[in-house]
Structure 1
Amino acid sequence: LSVSNLSAKRNVQPTVARQLTEHHCDERYHGWARLYTDGSVRDTTGTATAAAFREDTGRAEAERLVFHASSTTAELAALQLGLRLLDENEPARVVVLADSRAALSLLRSPDRSPQLAREVVARVGELQGKGWIIAFQWLPSHCGTSGNERADQLAARAHDDPGCPLSPVPPFTDARLLVRRRVALSHPELEHGPLPPRLPRRLTRGAAAALHRLRTGSSFTPAGRARWRTDRDGSCGHCGAHGDAEHLMCHCPRFSDARVDLGRAYGALGCPSDTLDELLRPRLPRAGTERALRALATYLGNTGLKDVM
């Protein structure tokens, strides 16, 4: 995953990086065929592409992934595409050159890597069984190496090519990323703020369920029920105010005495308790967070709000 005599790329002029890279490859892989791969992700269009270019035959291909992949997944898809270019030829020695250290690192420990990385490693094994000798080499990006620049251009053009073939890489490859994006879209307040802390163990089922509903904005408050049934009254049954979770938890006079006790518990931990967000996300170390959330669960139980939420 390195080039001889090349330190961090940011400290080296592109011309020097290109010369060092070419010297390294000429010295270590003299006489080997060179296969360049590159993945590209464009956030503005939500597209991801993969491209491969085999220098000795001039064969080049590009594909567009069917989902907005991570950059590492796009690079792995490019490696997979590149290895497919080797299938039709006689076994030879080939070095696969890519500018993604992250993708190449995953190939070193496939047992702990994503499925796509394991598929790339398995494909290498199949080719080696047919007589191929395959090596992987990192090279710096955008330093003028001709093969890498060609692969980069192919991947970039594929974003705007309506006739570009689709990659067989499935969306499940980036399931965690896609779920995280969906959560950020549905709950934008979580995109830049901390996620709610994990609930303490051994809470009652009712208290835990109420806290989860509060966190997801799906509690069974009068206002929440009125969203689904227009014939329902969304106001608080005690004071007539808008009966959402913020009101019931933080402002309704019916629970003022219990709320004083809750405020004291949070205050003793050095944590404010004036808003619903402050109650659900105490900014405390783990032990303090657990004590605060247990106090909140007690408040829900003593007031009967756990059955409302």
Structure 2
Amino acid sequence: MAESSSGPGLTEDLFAEAVMDTSDFAGFPSDSPVIGRPAKTKKPRLHGYTKPVPSPTSSEPTSSSNNSTQGWRLDPSHTIVAAELYGILQALKYLAANRTLPAVICTDSRSSLQLLQQAFPSSYTQLVATIQAHLHLLPTGAVHLQWVPSHAGLHGNEAADKAAKHAATSADQTAQVPFDFSELKSVVHRNIWKFWQAKWTSIRGQFALGMIKPSVHPWAHHMLQTRRFETLFARLRLGTAPLNKSLFQIRQAPSPLCPSCQVPETAHHYLIVCTEYAEARSQLRRQINSQGILVLSLETLLGGDITSSPTWPQTCRAVENFISSTHRFDP
């Protein structure tokens, strides 16, 4: 497989040179393809320039012989490769029905052609097997599979892209294309996350953690200075830190109230409100303000959904310094 990089003009020149001597081949782009007549060959081959694969949810063959296009709307859960393979399959069906042979099917999906070259493909086995079966029914060498770069200024490619976009947004009936195992796995995984998120959203107000973390996505890992701080952060998030409210619930404190403020001593009270630690909190505020965090809240101090922020390690250090300076959790 030859690879290089080039501008649209060079791409057109090289493609024209490749098709010059094969006027008896009919060009047939398939899903973001381009019209062309490369040299005859009995074995499908790949050559051209590297190009990212686009992301349509539909596929369509375009015939250069009659300038016709046709699109099919696929389920949005299908991948790009599935759409590309389906376009190749429909192109083969078109060729078999109209007997416009010999012909070349051009596609910008390198992955699709690599799968078709494999005797035992690792994915999309049903689609690949169906395409290979259609190829075996046609005369040897009658169909050539050609890789071409997309968005290189080639007319057939642009026409197919437009047809794909139209099919993806149309109200046409969705084509019945078999799902690959990897696609089904992705669908199941995505819907489990949605179900879990919906369930958490409906009940999170009942839990201390729910007031800090609105999403079910995992915390970004960041190692704190000591195991002691790891434990304290977790317990502050869960509302089980050794503060008077939680200690009173397990009969380890005579009162749930803060000795200084005479209100329930919770994680929010300790970190955000308590006047006993006003000086330490001023230092905490200066440190996190320097990181662009302007609001003191449990979500900003204990993580919430911001643990992937580049400033989160500095925020952790500031909270650790606050905890150390208050001596509230000293043995």
Q: TM-score, normalised by structure 2?
A: 0.49
Displacement of 1:60: 1.9
Q: Mark the CA change 1:189 to 1:150 in structure 2 (over 3 Å): closer, same or farther.
A: same
Distance in 2 (alpha carbons) for counterparts of 1:35 and 1:190: 45
- Structure 1 79/87 Cα, relative in aligned 2: closer, same or farther at 3 Å? same
Conserved? CA contact 1:76–1:116, under 8 Å: yes
Task: Show the counterpart of 1:166.
Answer: 174
SS at match of 1:34: strand
* Superposed CA RMSD: 3.8
Equivalences for residues 57-136 of structure 1 within 5 A? 57-90=66-99, 92-113=101-122, 114=124, 115-128=126-139, 133-136=142-145
What's the secondary structure of 2:170's corresponding residue?
Answer: coil
Map of 1:33 onto structure 2: 26
Q: Which has the higher strand share?
A: 1
Pairing 1:14–2:22 present: no
Larger radius of gyration: 2
Report the AA paired with residue 41 of structure 1: S
Post-superposition offset of 1:30: 3.7
Question: Aligned residues, how many?
Answer: 192
SS class of match (1:35): strand
Kept in 2: contact 1:41–1:69 (CA 8 A): no
Deviation of 1:49 after TM superposition, in Å, equals: 0.6
8 Å CA contact 1:92–1:132 kept in 2: the answer is no
Task: Give yes or no for contact 1:91–1:132 (8 Å, CA) kept in 2.
Answer: no
Whether the aligned pair in 2 keeps the contact of 1:70 and 1:177 (CA below 8 Å) is no
Cα deviations across residues 287-306 of structure 1 (Å, max 9, x unaligned)? Answer: xxxxxxxxxxxxxxxxxxxx
Extract structure 1 runs of 4+ deviating beyond 6 A: 191-194
Give how far 1:100 is off.
Answer: 0.8
Identity %: 23
- Cα 1:193–1:65 change in 2 (3 A) is farther
Q: Deviation at 1:123?
A: 1.6
Where do residues 1-309 of structure 1 align in structure 2 (5 Å cutoff)?
2=2, 7-9=3-5, 12-27=6-21, 29-38=22-31, 41=55, 48-90=57-99, 92-113=101-122, 114=124, 115-128=126-139, 133-162=142-171, 164-172=172-180, 174-185=183-194, 239=250
How far did residue 132 of structure 1 move? 7.0
Provide the rounded CA distance (Å) in 2 between the counterparts of 1:122 and 1:192.
48
Cα offset for 1:183?
Answer: 4.6
- Deviation of 1:37 after TM superposition, in Å, equals 0.7
Shift of 1:18: 1.8
Once the two structures are superposed, what CA deviation does each residue of 1:177-223 show, in whole Å capped at 9, x if it has no partner?
Answer: 323433554567558969xxxxxxxxxxxxxxxxxxxxxxxxxxxxx
Residue ranges of structure 1 left out of the alignment (5+ in a row):
43-47, 195-234, 242-274, 276-309
Contact 1:52 1:81 (8 Å CA) reproduced? yes
Distance, in Å, in 2 between the alignment partners of 1:184 and 1:193 is 17
Q: Distance in 1 between matches of 2:104 and 2:64?
A: 11
CA drift of 1:90 comes to 2.7
Instruction: Report if the CA contact (8 A) 1:66-1:170 is conserved.
Output: no
Q: TM-score, normalised to structure 1's length?
A: 0.52
Contact 1:35 1:53 survives alignment (8 Å): yes
The 8 Å contact of residues 38 and 151 in structure 1, kept in 2 or not, is answered as: yes
Q: Distance in 2 between matches of 1:140 and 1:168?
A: 28
Deviation per residue, 1:221-264 (Å, 9 max, x gap): xxxxxxxxxxxxxx99x8389xxxxxxxxxxxxxxxxxxxxxxx
Unaligned runs of 5+ in 2: 33-53, 197-214, 222-245, 253-301, 303-331
